[in-house]
Amino acid sequence: MKRFKYQGEHIAFIKAHALQLDINELTAAFNAHFQLNKSKSSIKNLRYNLKIKTGRKRGAKKGVSPLFSAEQIAWLRTHYPQQERNELTANFQKTFNSNITGKQICCYLKNHRIKSGRSGHFQKGKKSWNAGTKGLMKANSGSFKKGGGHIRSRPIGSERTNVDGYIEIKTGEPNIWEAKHRVLWQQHHPETPLKSTDLIRFIDGDKSNVVIGNLSLFNRSEHILATAYGYSDAAPEHKQSIKLIAQISSKSKQLQEQP
């Protein structure tokens, strides 16, 4: 059998994705992109022989952040349960004289599954922010207005924002509401009914920007793979490439599972 030789395009692909993907994800993405079946050890040896950097210092363990020191990680684990994220960021920057942003801290906490232990509910015995202000607080945009109808009486076509930040539109009586981005997608693609497992993602990450050019359709498998490949944090101009890799990986997996 003729020995396989990596070409320039193969090496360029590895160099482009070595920082974002671990060896398992990198191998899957490589095989899906080039329709090959290279082993994890083969990709790992190629990366080593060509001295392709992963972003980790030599000898560093996988999962050790190149952005945060061990001391800083320990500090975050200790203080996150006691401090809200804005307060945590301010105190972190002050303690370590650092310009690391709140978004970077939040991403690290989320990606490494560091929990605060808080449920988001009011704790027993904790006073609300407006305690003792009865009779002093003025009406605001969320206050009930005299003579105002119940939300179920709102006409079809009305919009609201749900607790997850998605805009919903009333599509039927007496109280039928659907996600606006799914309704919009279906209007533009009537020939392909949406499945309950289909997901529509916002290209710029803004849930309020519900325009057809900002929507991208994924099935469940593609969504999981795209997320693993860094879709959420990628620049909008790179997201289509990541989506294509996820689609190829998903299809390749389906073919492999067929008897």
Q: Is the peptide bond before 155 cis (omega within 30 degrees of 0)?
A: no
Per-residue confidence (pLDDT) for residue 60, from 0 to 100: 47
What stretches in the chain show pLDDT beneath 70? 1, 20, 53-66, 117-152, 259
C-alpha atoms less than 13 angstroms from C-alpha of 195 in its C-beta half-sphere: 6
Per-residue confidence (pLDDT) for residue 15, from 0 to 100: 81
Per-residue confidence (pLDDT) for residue 233, from 0 to 100: 85
Per-residue confidence (pLDDT) for residue 144, from 0 to 100: 57
pTM of the model: 0.42
C-alpha atoms less than 13 angstroms from C-alpha of 230 in its C-beta half-sphere: 16
Q: What is the DSSP string of 228-240?
A: HTTTTTS-HHHHH
Name 115's Cβ contacts closer than 8 Å, sequence gap at least 6: 80, 81
27 vs 237: CA distance, rounded Å: 23
Residue pLDDT, tens place only, 187-231: 999 888 888 889 999 998 888 899 999 999 998 889 888 888 888
